[in-house]
Structure 1
Amino acid sequence: MVALKDMLGTSAPQSVRKLAENLELNKHTVWRWRILVFSITGGSGSTSFSGIVEADETYQRESRKGPREWVRHFANPQSFPPPPRPRWEDFTTQGLKMMRGLSKWQLPILTVADRRVARLVRRLPNRKSVTLERAMTPLMPADAVLCSDGANGYANVAATGGIEHFVVGSKPGKRVVASCYHIQNVNSLHARYDMFIRRLCGPATKNLNGYIRWLEVQVAGIRPAEVIGAS
């Protein structure tokens, strides 16, 4: 319950080390509590959207904290092949060139919001248009109005469902269409995600879904007692 209150309270959550120090517990114990909280926070996968619906993606850099794949490779190269990408430190120490812009190491996170209170944050497995379509189609009622950028996935969802679609650009003068059609609510959600994830210093990708559910619960204003009751 202490870990739950720390994660879902009104103040910023403490780091695992800081909370462990305050509670005089081992940091691994507190970390196990956090993973348990992840398992009982279900996020908002059944969120119902209506009216003007905004959608866009943000991105999170892949993080392989925890796995000892490089350690195993260096210890036994014959049994453990090199991992599929260099370590982040290799880009500095070995002078490797960082991929510019969006790359396969940037993980897409779909954000959806309407003009009421409905909010959804969901990690997508890849950046393919068909993946975006599959994620968006169940969320869009037939009488909704979709506001998004010009990605093919959004255009296909609108065309298939006969949904009115306004394409909003990122350049000045194109961020608002006809005064009320914009994606500023999802941009605000992106800013909240960035602020939320920055305090956590890049969580491991294997735990990213748990952190996204944590953020969704915070955005929805769900209290700790409600999470416990739902579990």
Structure 2
Amino acid sequence: MTASIAPLASRIALDTQGAAAIRRAIIEGALGPGALVNETELGQSLGISRSTARTALKLLELEGLVSQQQYKGWRIFTPTAEDALNLYVLRGALEGVAAAQVARGAQPASLARIAQDYAAMQAAAGRHDMRAMSDADHAFHTRLIVESGNPRLADQYLQVQQHIKIYVATANRIRGRFRDIVQDHDAMKDAILAGDAAGAEAAAREHSRQAGAMIAAVLNSSQVPTS
């Protein structure tokens, strides 16, 4: 299961680098849901020691992406339909408030950065680059939180950010149609840029509701696509 992770190129902060590499593999599905990973094999794959691999995994355990199984190794987080629905209700609430605040403030610099993130999604779609698409998708949503200027909101979002990344990547693999993925964000983006706070909040909540329902339906059918 770990052969698809490339060895680390740098020797600086190896545990942090290792955590980043494993996190990416989990988000993209290279380390599949529920898979068991071995510290020794993982360390060999990444070109780091077993102890460093263990430290990297402990960092990811704090994010809820892995859990240690006594005498077995480490188990990768498994998305579930119930979790998807619950997470996307929370995501919609957080992003809805953020989108409304950004639209209400209508700061030119903030709106320009949101437009740039949307353009990055369009560019990734034009290249048919799924990794870049998912990264740009997540960046667009995170931008709403950042530009809201609400530190309490940002703290809550940070707690679920890595799980959101997994579900975003899963949703995009399900959809597969790049143009549709971009267009799913149009109502939210347009309302924010127009300064329509109520419309922006409603669009953000609806976007999350539809995405959560779609992911839950696929997870219930046990047909989750891999990378």
Confirm or deny a common fold (TM above 0.5).
Answer: no
Q: Of the two, which has the highest radius of gyration?
A: 1
TM-score with structure 1 length normalisation? 0.24
* Greater share of residues in strand: 1
| TM-score, length of structure 2 as denominator length | 0.24
